[in-house]
Structure 1
């Protein structure tokens, strides 16, 4: 049986260089240019990623 190696998060975050990442509430969560999201305090924030004229958002809850 073959064992799968865990994927490295840093490699995944660097796949789309040039994407713009932002947080709707930096008092709750911050997002670094490499895609690392850091919880700061309890609450909800929306993370937005924009790349090549397209964007996507997702909600983050910090407990």
Structure 2
């Protein structure tokens, strides 16, 4: 799953272009680390924290299958 796919799963109201813009402008962090590459593979674990925007925080739950 790419970072763009992860952001779209967390914020389904965003289309691809606004989600790309959010990532490129530094509005996405995983566990406090800024993510800037849209096509980066998101390596996340259960209980990681995704911040997608200024006020949107998500605690991730990874499905094993």
Q: Identify the structure with the greater strand proportion.
A: 1
- Tell me which structure has the larger Cα radius of gyration: 1
Alignment TM-score, normalising by the size of structure 1 = 0.40
Between structures 1 and 2, the one with greater helix share: 2
